[in-house]
């Protein structure tokens, strides 16, 4: 269970990081994405990244 939660945490961090960078306009890929340079997606991405980091931390502390 610990491993599954850690993998889910990493997946959330990767997705949230991509969404944040797209929302900030730093990653303009894919070109047809509706998230590019949209502040709301930068905020959403940061929240998802934080949730993933918290999940990973929580799973790491489990025995």
Task: Give tens-digit pLDDT for 1-50.
Answer: 999 999 999 999 999 999 999 999 999 999 999 999 999 999 999 999 99
Domain ranges, residue 11: 2-61
Q: Evaluate whether 57 touches 17 at the Cβ level (below 8 Å).
A: no
Is the pLDDT at 62 greater than 90, yes or no? no
Q: How high is the pLDDT of residue 63?
A: 81
Q: How high is the pLDDT of residue 40?
A: 98
Provide the domain count of the chain: 1
Q: How high is the pLDDT of residue 29?
A: 93
Going by pLDDT thresholds of 50, 70 and 90, the confidence category of residue 57 is: very high
């Amino acid at each position: 269970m610990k491993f599954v939660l850690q993998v889910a945490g990493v997946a959330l961090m990767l997705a949230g990081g991509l969404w944040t960078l797209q929302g900030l306009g730093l990653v303009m890929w894919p070109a047809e994405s509706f998230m590019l340079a949209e502040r709301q997606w930068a905020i959403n991405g940061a929240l998802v990244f934080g949730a993933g980091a918290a999940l990973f931390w929580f799973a790491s502390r489990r025995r």
